[in-house]
Structures are given as C-alpha cells and as structure tokens.
Chain A
Amino acid sequence: AGAQNKIQVGCTATSDCASAMIAVDEGLFKKQGLAVEMVLIGINSNIPAAILSGSVQIGGPTSTVFLQAADGGLDLVAVAGASVMGPTSNGNIAAFVRNGITIKEPKDFIGKKVGAPGLGAFLHVLFVKWLVEKGVDPKKVNFIEVTFPTQMDIIKSGGVDAVLTAEPFVTRMTNAGTGTVGARYGAELNRSEPIIFYAASRDWAEKNPETLRKFRAAIAEGATIVNETPEKAWAAIAKFTKTPIDLVRAAPPNRSDPTLKPEQLAWWIDIMASQKMLQGKLDLTKLILN
C-alpha cells in the first residue's frame, strides 16, 4: 500500500538509459506491475530540477550533474546504476582536432581553443583529469562551450581548434574530412566508474521502497539485454529518441550496470573537488540508497 505503480523516468537522448528503454520495450516494468513512462529531457542538467518538481520520479543525471546538485543542497539520492565507462564507451570518446592542427602529445593542447559540449560536464571533467594526469596545466587550455550538433560546423569554420566529442560524431566528422582524432583520452584514462545513474528525491525514495525494488529488478534485467543484444538496445534507443536507426547503430551502447558502489562515486568526488567544482563536503553514505 502507498506504493506508486505509475512513474515517469526522465532521460536525455543517449544510450545511457538504455536499460530503462529496453525495460519499457520488452515489458519488463509491466511484468513487475509498474507503469513506466519515459520522458525525453533535452539537457541533462535539468534533470535534478525535474525530479524535485515531481515532473519525473526517477531521472538519469550524469555523475557530475548529480554531484553538483547534491553539493548545491538538492536532496537527491542515487537509486540504481545506469551506464558505466568501459572499453567501448571509453573508445568512443575523443578530442577531435581540425585540419591544420597536429597534436602529438598532450602538451600540444596548450594555448589551443577547445570546445566542450558542456563546461563542467562529463567529457570536460574527464579531459581535464587526463591533462592533469599527463602533467599539463589545464588552465593553459582555452575551453569554450560547443554543443554536439554544432561541433561539425564550428570545426569546419575554424572557430575552435579541437572539440571534445564522442561517437557517432567522431566518425561523421572524420568522414566529412573536417579533421582528425587528436587524442583518445577516454581510452587512455581507461576508467570504469558510472557515467549516468538513476536518481530520485530522498523524500520519494524513502516513501516508495517497494516501487524502487521493482524498478531495480526490471532495470537489472534490462541491463543484461542491453549488454548482450545491442540490436535490441539500438531499436529501443532509436524509438525513444526518435533518431534514425542507422545513426544509433554507428556506436555500440554504453555498458549498462545496475549496481552502484560508493567508491565509484568517491572517484568522481575526488576529481571534481580537485577541479574546484564542489564547494562543500559530500557525505558518500547518504548519496546512495540501496
């Protein structure tokens, strides 16, 4: 009783929430007695607000968005894992440089204008981490924001020297002859921490343990399908994001992992703190509700 059987799940148009998309497509939620509606949210950083306003009960923020929201005082908890970095996803990430610029080693980025799809967002934070690991002072790199869909045009016009990007854009830009991959920094970092996980407001999560249990069960099943039969995942992603299936197929979905461990978040907290993105001290034990 009191458990809510009809919930909305808000995600951005990426493969990270594939486990939930599959769970809808394959009727896994229904099997658990849950009616789930997927809501497409344009910008990831809006997800915490959407959760708090009750527009969605569960959302899929990136780790950076989630941690910054928690740091800003939003009472959110992570309830299940969605996607984690892995060999495929890491290989998808690249710093793509325009024609006329050659990057031989990390310090060649010094003084360059680099476009990131979101300052302080996933790709940017990782890139800065990579620079630091390679002994390059990130302050000497000039970052600006360039969203994914405009990257190709800006690279072509020479507006920036490089962009931080991911598949399918890497292949598209390479095929269009606008430049080359300058660094596969994702692969070089080779991490396995979560990219996106499912989060809810603490209030709701504590009141609906039963719903959450069912949700986790369905997600776990969905994750297995995503990881084993990408074909099904692609179909679900294309359907949810209304993207042409060919485009979706260009890249394998990020690995889904329904579990969530505190130490994985600890790694994120560390690098974000070192990049001065967090102001307070976050209590790890309170951030995850298992």
Chain B
Amino acid sequence: MTLPSITPLRPAVASARKPQIAFDRVSLDLGGKTILDTVNLDVAPGEFLCIIGASGCGKTTALRLAAGLYQPTSGRVTFDGVAMTAPRRDIAIVFQDYGKALLPWRTAIGNVSLALETAGVPKPQRADRIEELLVKVGLPFHGDKYPAEMSGGMQQRLQIARCLAQEPKVLLMDEPFGALDAMTRQSLQDEVLELVRASGVTVIFVTHDLEEAIYLGDRVIGLLPHPGRVGIQCAIDLARPRDQLTTREQPQFLALRRQLFDFIKASEA
C-alpha cells in the first residue's frame, strides 16, 4: 500500500470555505428521548472530520443524520446549502454493524458490484474495478466468498470496498476499523488518507480510538452524552502527509491525545 508523497492540497482547517454539510441547530428525539440536542456543525468540502465520544453518546445517530437516514426533529441538515430530505448517492456510509449491511446472498464480488450496477457502470468494466477495490481493502483472493464465510474484519473491509465503489463526494464512516487488527488498521488508515488526498472526498469518521482520530483528522470533535451535544472541538495542525511512526511521536500529537482523553474521562464521570 502506498503512502502519499506530495504536500497536502487541503487546508488543515477549512472553516473559511462554504460548508458542504452543515448541521443547523439540529435536535433529534427517538423513542421519546432527546438523543441529540441543538447541534451546530459545519463540514467544509474536502475536510476530514473525526467524531469521538463515550459509548451511547450519539455518534452513530449524528452520522445517520448526515446521511439523510434520519430527519431532525428540529433544525436542519444541509448539503451544499440544500436541506437533506433523503439519502444521496454521492454520500456513502460504512455502518458500524457490518454483519447486517451486507447482502448475505451475494458473494464479496456481488456485494461490491451492487454499487457499480446502481451507478450504471457497464458490465465489462465492473470486474476490473471490483478487483482493484478488493485489493485496496486487502481482500484480493476472497471475492467468491459469501459474507457468512468471512471473518468480522473481512466483512467490515468488504463494506468499505462497496462504499468506495460508489465514488462518493462524502464518506461517512462509523467505527470502520473496529474489527481490525493493529496492522491492517494502520494500513487501511493510510489507504483512506491516500484516497482522500487523491480524490478530495469529504470524510466524517466516527471512532473510539483517540489516536486514530488525531492521526486521521483535520479536526476532531467530541460529543457529550445525555443528550448528545458538541463538547469539544480541536483543530489538528499536524503536517500532512502523516506517518504512522513519526506523526504519532510528535509532542503536539501527544498533547492532543491527553486533551481528548481528559475530555472523555470527564464526560463519563
């Protein structure tokens, strides 16, 4: 897997530009309880935003709002200034419960193919594209397996491959590396960074791994639970391209990590 070697094109914090996705005083009630309360959030085009927070604080819910899968109870979510009333094909989402989001009756190839079929990619071109994507997520020889025949991490990566096949403008990822070992995880992190660099895609990335959030993001926000609201915002000014060894050793990295750790700790107290 390749590491990016060019200087980053994107500003570290992109607040100056017009937002691509914006939460405007968004609240959401589910099952009679307020899950998210007056959340304001702007995500610039090409920005890499990471969301952290305690378990059950509303990260998944926020992501589902951004995807257009939920409609806010009050306030609104906009994409390029237009209110989101339904999901869009140029927004892809990687679900946390990977086991449920794959079609059990299709093989790995078939699952990726689904996105291509929908986008109208002609049949002869699909095979190569699918192969390429499976290699990218590290599943080159597993194309003929059904999801039930794959390990948890493999299913998770397969889901990522399907989302990439969509060639989205915005990629929403909900703990996408939760089921992966350290190495696979690191290489996929770099793969995602490379992808973002090359395509300029906007990413909202939910994770519970603070180091991962800092390593990947242009900005990290932390949610407070009961009800979910934004509790902390950190711009990450670490230079790009980032490196698994050197970046993680920078004092700034460690300081940010400490800061976020304290935030989570306080939020759970």
Complex contact flag A–B (Cβ < 8 Å): no
Interface residue ranges, A against B (CB under 8 Å): none
